[in-house]
Amino acid sequence: DTEVTQTPKHLVMGMTNKKSLKCEQHMGHRAMYWYKQKAKKPPELMFVYSYEKLSINESVPSRFSPECPNSSLLNLHLHALQPEDSALYLCASSVRDRDLRGYTFGSGTRLTVV
């Protein structure tokens, strides 16, 4: 298995809702990443997990809460989002955070906040 799987592919949520994005990989990668991509813009790094521990938080608002329950799974919990948070959320993984082999992206979750 050489894929990063993200679910759901599309999500529409209200500003008062709580939802979660899920990312899964079974390649034995020990670094996992969340990126946010607005339309016609490059991806921007949000969080990095290394060996299931949060190593980077790029000043992301607390309404985004990451979680790495095990080495194969990465979640992004969403609460009280704003319409400007609508974007494509991309998950990626790599062998380790200082090893570029096999840097793999998922297809993303397209989030719309209404």
Partner 1 sequence: KQEVTQIPAALSVPEGENLVLNCSFTDSAIYNLQWFRQDPGKGLTSLLLIQSSQREQTSGRLNASLDKSSGRSTLYIAASQPGDSATYLCAPDQTGANNLFFGTGTRLTVIP
Choose which of 20, 67, 73, 105 interacts with partner 1 (CB under 8 A).
105
| Residue 60: C-alpha distances to residues 1, 65, 78, 103 (Å) | 31, 9, 12, 22
Q: State the chain's maximal CA–CA distance in angstroms.
A: 40
Q: Out of 11, 21, 31, 74, which residue is the one contacting partner 1 (CB under 8 A)?
A: 31
Residue from 21, 94, 111, 113 touching partner 1 (CB under 8 A): that is 94
The CB-of-105 to partner 1 minimum distance in angstroms stands at 4
Minimum CB separation of residue 80 from partner 1 in Å reads 26
Strands 44-50 and 10-13: unpaired
> What phi and psi, each to the nearest 5 degrees, are found at residue 81?
-75, 165
Count of positions on this chain that bind partner 1 (CB under 8 A): 28
Q: Which two tokens stand for residue 89?
A: 């959320």
Which residues between 34 and 93 bind partner 1 (CB under 8 A)? 41-45, 48, 55-56, 88, 90, 92
Measured from the CB atom, the residue of 19 and 105 that comes closer to partner 1 is 105
Q: Would strands 109-113 and 10-13 be described as parallel, antiparallel, or unpaired?
A: parallel
Q: Hey, what are 5's tokens? A: 């799987």
**Which residues of the shown chain bind partner 1 in the complex (CB under 8 A)?**
4, 6, 31, 33, 41-45, 48, 55-56, 88, 90, 92, 94, 96-100, 103-108, 110
